[in-house]
Copies of this chain bind each other. A is one copy, B any other.
Amino acid sequence: MKNQTTQFPKVIIIGGGFGGIQIAKKMNKKEVDLLMLDRHNYHTFQPLLYQVATGGLEPDSIAFPLRKVFQDQKNFNFRVADVKHINPENKSVTTDIGDFDYDYLVIATGSETNFFGQKEIEHFSMPMKTVPEALNLRSLILQNFEEALVEKDLERKQALMTFVVVGGGPTGVETAGALAELKNHVLVHDYPELDIHNMKIYLFEGSERILEPFSLQASKKAKEFLQNMGVIVMEKTRVNHYDGDKVTYNTTETIFTKGVVWSAGVKGAIIPGLEKAEIVRGGRIKTTNFNLVEGYENIFAIGDLAYMETPEWPHGHPGVAQTAIQQGQQLADNLIRIINNEKPHPFNYFDKGSMATVGRNKAVVDLKYWKFQGFFAWLTWMFIHLLFLVGFRNKAVTLINWIVNYFSYDRGSRVIIRKFNRESMMEEGKAV
């Protein structure tokens, strides 16, 4: 399929995440023919998925139409396409809507949920990497409460009101905190017939401490915040098994629960076809210091998917938006250099720090020379997230929601638009 119209080099970008958007934007007005392919017609602002899942935000607020991002960019084309295979031998990609040729290929597919090969957990637990997944989780939480209301079996009733968040990274911490706020401010009023004290929220973390890559101070404070909100934080706790009814952890311990949120890990979203590439731990693709996939001359990987060893980051860069954004920007420059037969510049990561929010007035921020927690950290967190959220409408609607949520202690989007079908999940699960 001929996808471009000029004689300029054809650059295909797979993925419209933070990295993909940056590289395409940065190549505006350059003499290239850009084609972006994404499974969705929108960019997902992943850091706020947990707020969609817990009824604080509307899905469309964190989804931004990709065509709109590039509406005025003449060298840009877009296709909703699922890329099935990369064919380096004839410089093309195979998708569900046909093949596309490239001169340069940028893989910016990011990461996907890592269940570490545990099929049963994959079947029964709720991941949260896409908008539909966040909406499924929202439905599940609310459906569990509706079911608990009419459930007579006390053990099952308790299981419906028990939520286990697996993985104490920022997503897990934020989800557990949001669940606690939902419990304390919303569900307590929505379900006066239920004893809300029976709602249990566990946060499991396999390592020594939650928010492990953060400072010790941030970890401690986040744990304190969570515990004050009623979350049961369990560190050095590893899940072995979940069968849809019962979580087994640390080999012998069990909890009955009908709601397991899986945020324990991610892996690179690999597309088959790169035989020569080296896939390292976490399913990331090894690249040179200018994001070239080792073994190829015209295939690049950026963001969560890319594994680049540098003296400063000997085990690769953190899997966060900033890495994707900075690598996207740098690679845009480098691609132009490469096209002009100039030498590409090595990537240099500027660490802007990390942050996570636990709840109202509660967040932790780690900057290089300054670590702070609490109200000011929470304001910083909100400001930064609004800043990076794409589009004025999305910023405005999100801000309105946050203001209303803050002053009313409410979560207005606690609506089950599409029911999550537990039965069909169960059947699929049993079929494994």
Contact = CB atoms under 8 A, between A and B. Distances in A.
A371 interface: no
B146 A41 contact: yes
A40 interface: yes
A132 B59 CA distance: 14
Contact of A412 (B41, B98, B391, B415): B391
Contacts of A89: none
A416 B40 contact: yes
A415 B393 CA distance: 14
Contact of A59 (B59, B67, B68): B59
Contacts of A63: 415, 417
Contacts of A401: 393, 397
Nearest to A150: B97
Contact of A400 (B1, B150, B397, B408): B397
B417 A132 contact: yes
A63 B97 CA distance: 35
A330 to B, nearest CB: 29
Interface string A13-37: 0000000000000000000000000
Interface in A110-161: 131-132, 135, 142-143, 146, 149-150
A349 interface: no
A101 interface: no
A40 B80 CA distance: 32
Interface of A: 1, 40-42, 58-61, 63-65, 67-68, 71, 77, 79-80, 97-98, 131-132, 135, 142-143, 146, 149-150, 189-191, 193, 391-394, 396-397, 400-401, 404, 408, 410, 412-418
28 contacts: A41-B146, A41-B414, A42-B415, A42-B416, A42-B417, A58-B58, A58-B59, A58-B60, A58-B61, A58-B397, A59-B59, A59-B415, A59-B417, A60-B412, A60-B413, A68-B190, A68-B412, A79-B146, A80-B146, A97-B150, A132-B417, A391-B412, A392-B408, A393-B400, A393-B412, A397-B397, A397-B400, A418-B418
